[in-house]
Structure 1
Amino acid sequence: MATIATLERQRKLVPIEVHLDRGEKAWRVLYGTPDFIAWLDSDLVSLKTTIIGCEIEPIEQVDAVFHEYVSGLYMHPDDRFKKLSCRPDHFVWEFKTLDIRIFGWIPRKDHFICTFGDMKDRIELMRSYGTYIAKTVYIRTQMALQPTHIASAEYHNVLSNAH
């Protein structure tokens, strides 16, 4: 049975640092798997927006949604933060930006573990939501984290708000 601290020491989880403005404090915590961190550092930086007229590139979109999350702002369900539907329910969640979807799970309130990121258009074209859900559940199972996840679809059970 692993804890988040154990998985950090084993380098199976990496804390994601988010720049906060002066006076802001971290309210929530983000982690990524090593593969997710590699995606952030290499793939994400080269992606371009597919939204006509959008001046915000995917990396800036991810920075913004991560800032909202860590600073404790309300994450509008279905718009910025969503539990994905699946039968049976696996309690996999996603961060949503105009161009990007980031998949992961919530092992305890206000803690999110990111496993995969991809372009929204690519996910929809390839119909890969189910694949990302299954891969996220597989990684979660392999980590043997205790508790594994919060089995709730209710926002207030997985996130608290600073404001």
Structure 2
Amino acid sequence: MATIAKLCELGVLEDLDPGLDPAELPTRQLYGTVEFVAWLNDVLPELVVEDDPLSDDLSPMEQVGALFSEYLLGETFSTDRRFKKLNATPQHHIWELKTPDVRIFGWVPAKDCFICCYGDLKNAVVTFNKYGLYMARTKLVRDKMDLDEPKCVESREFKDVIST
């Protein structure tokens, strides 16, 4: 079994840095799987959102960068929709980071730490009802990962997974 730091050393996970200013100190941790980082670098920059009155003025890439910065810098997430526990039976303990146009699926291995596993445009997730697919795929990645137990925080309470 390995720690998150060891999995980063081995290249299984990558520390996600949205380009914080040197004076900004993160209060939370954010990681991505190799597959997620490839999506972040190769797919996300090319994504565009068709004219949608509910869409943000920012591109999907800019939205994700802002969301990651806000998460890392310790902004309050427990009372809004940017961070959401997904429901499933049986309980899979999968969480979702959200922007107006992007959904990012992952899990919380420890309080104030999030591992990003999959990302997609909101419209694709909702239109094709991909929530179950992404929850199952995220759980499978977590189960296969050689991460120390417990591999995730098994709580539905925001106070247990993120500081406010």
- TM-score normalised to structure 1 length: 0.93
Structure 2 equivalent of residue 144 of structure 1: 146
What residue identity is the alignment partner of 1:105? W
Give the Å deviation of 1:27.
0.4
In structure 2, what is the Cα distance between the partners aligned to 1:22 and 1:65?
A: 18
Distance 1:70 1:6, change over 3 A: same
Which has the larger displacement, 12-21 or 116-125? 12-21
4+ aligned runs moved over 6 Å, structure 1: none
Give the Å deviation of 1:22.
5.4
What is the number of equivalent residue pairs in this alignment? 161
Q: What does 1:122-137 align with in structure 2 at a 5 Å threshold?
A: 122-137=124-139
Distance 1:131 1:9, change over 3 A: same
In structure 2, what is the Cα distance between the partners aligned to 1:122 and 1:80?
A: 18
Structure 2 equivalent of residue 46 of structure 1: 46
Structure 1 equivalent of residue 157 of structure 2: 154
Q: Mark the runs of 5 or more structure 2 residues left unpaired by the alignment.
A: none
Q: What does 1:92-131 align with in structure 2 at a 5 Å threshold?
A: 92-131=94-133
Deviations along 1:102-133, one digit per CA (max 9) or x if unpaired, are: 00000011111000000011011111100000
Deviations along 1:64-123, one digit per CA (max 9) or x if unpaired, are: 111110000001455100000001111100001111000000001111100000001101
Give the Å deviation of 1:23.
3.3
Question: Is contact 1:95-1:101 (8 Å) kept?
Answer: yes
- TM-score normalised to structure 2 length: 0.92
